[in-house]
Amino acid sequence: MFHSERAIYPVLLASVFIIAACGILYELLLSSISSYFLGNSILQFSLTIGLFLFFMGVGSFLSKYLKENLFETFITVEIILGVIGGISATSLYLTFAYSAHYYLYNFIFIALIGSLIGLEIPIVARIINKYSSLKETVAKVFSFDYIGALAASVLFPLVLLPWLGVIKTAFLIGIINLFIAFYNALFFRKILKNGVRQALISAALIVVFGVGIYFAPRIDDKLEQKIYQDRIIYKTQTQYQHIVVTRWNTDYRLFINGAIQFSSSDEYRYHESLVHLPMNLALTHEKILVLGGGDGLVIREILKYPDVKEVHLVDLDPAITDLAKTNDIFTKLNDNSMNDPRVKIFNEDAYNFIQKSSEVYSAIIIDLPDPNDTGLGKLYTKEFYMMLAGRLDKSGVLVTQATSPYFSNKAYWCVVHTLGEVFEHPLAYQTNVPTFGIWGFVAAGKPIDFQFKTDSVNFKKNIAETVNSRLETQAFSKNLRYLNSEIVPTMLTFERDLQESETEINLIGTQQLVKYYMQSADMWR
């Protein structure tokens, strides 16, 4: 069978479009896996994409040494790429679960996949150039390459990752590469020496990876169970994050992207500390804003105050808030607080919500994840705190969780100092949560600035007395599991190894807080 130029040209251009999409998908896939296991998504994406581009350059350079049998070489590269890419996610999960050499194996996969991708585009371009001018070849190859990259960039976060997860997605991308090899080998078999054999090999591998997709949920369950150790009772991948809930006896734990968010055995220590100090420094409780806290545990504590009329909860991921509203384990832990008619849920970015909001609140409670990347770091900046100050009424108080003053001392005091640029007297306090260790919070607001500033010597003493006296008037106070009048004063005291560090202010343009946090994370890892 002879193939005319008219038949060859569109097949090869379609192949360019698809292999370009696969290349971007591999970059996003490996970046996501590293972010999930290692945190700091900005760093992982930057390193992965940077290394990919480097090794694509290596592959492109090496392609000049390939001079014969370009068609067969292209198909062989596609087969090898499909196999390596298809097993990449499973292999990296295995490495993380059973080995201490994740960085090495991740680097190897990036190097191999990047180099193979770098090889294939120049080879295809040289084949196409036989049937068109150089000018037309370069224009069309790069056009289809970029269009394919765009399609993959949209498809990955919106469809592949949330619906298939990383292991199935890797197998699927591998199958796509193998299908390109199969189709080209079959289509051009009359002008290839080994076209039929390459087509059969590709078809067999497609079947193997198809079986892999079928068994992917079991593979994923087994590997994640090894990583988390405690029994996994719920997990899902959304377009924003990977959510896992585990159980050991009566202890339930929530993990987001591999980082623990709470343990049911001691979460009350954290949430009572986060909520009740600022709520008893604010003079009214009519309308409360919660940023983060989609599990409903902060809301549970807020709704203990009878004068609360409205609570606005802002959490990016609807999967978390839906879990907190409907899952029996969560509704029991949060006292079904998320279904209270006073609670209104906004599934959107906290920064964007505050930017467009004109609401004024009696208290703002910030229960966001630690600032391990710039996306989260912007929610701990002076600019963000200035916007929040404009959303507080004249008697309002805000509080933020601020990571550990022991494990991340500079990061913690950076939050304190940044709030101090907006409010006159930020109130630093801490408590001990066994699951996390010593944990820090920072409160600030107009009542703290004006009510307690006149006596700086007894500032903390007056704060503690005020919190205790107001808390004792609340009917629920005797039923709190952690806070009492003896504990509150100790929370305002910092031992020598927790003492204040000199830090820079966290600004959107510098994101110094993320640097402090990641330096601490690297030290303790």
Catalytic residues: 367
Residue 162 structure tokens: 């949330």
User: Cβ-count burial of 421 within 10 angstroms (0-12 exposed, 13-18 middle, 19+ buried)?
Assistant: middle
SS3 at position 403: coil
* Contact residues for 490 (Cβ-Cβ < 8 A; gap 6+): none
| Contact (CB, 8 A) for 317 and 254 | no
Q: What is the DSSP letter of 160?
A: I
How far apart are alpha carbons 26 and 106 in whole angstroms? 12
Of the candidates 145, 287, 289, 170, the residue with the CA atom closest to the CA atom of residue 223: 170
Choose among 109, 63, 454, 483: nearest CA to 273.
483
| Strand locations in 49-130 (E) | none
Residue 482 φ then ψ, to 5°: -130, -55
Residues 377, 506: contact at Cβ < 8 Å? yes
Token output for 485: 């009048």
**Whole-number CA gyration radius for the chain:** 28
Q: Are 361 and 288 in contact (CB under 8 A)?
A: yes
| Alpha-carbon distances of 10 from 13, 117, 188, 425, rounded to whole Å | 5, 20, 13, 68
| d(C-alpha 292, C-alpha 2), whole Å | 63
CA 170 to chain centre: 19
Task: Kindly report the number of other CB atoms within 10 A of residue 487's CB atom.
Answer: 17
For residues 377 and 513, is the Cβ–Cβ distance under 8 A? yes
Three-state SS string over 266-302 comes to CHHHHHHHHHHHHHCCCCCCCEEEEEECCCCHHHHHH
443 touches 430 (CB < 8 A): no
Cross-strand pairs, 291: 314, 366
247 - beta bridge partners? Answer: 231, 252
User: In terms of Cα–Cα distance, which of 141, 115, 145, 129 is closest to 52?
Assistant: 115
**CB of 207 within 8 A of CB of 86?**
no
Proportion of the chain in helix, strand, coil states, percent, rounded to 5: 60, 15, 25
The token pair that represents 271 in the structure block = 């949430």
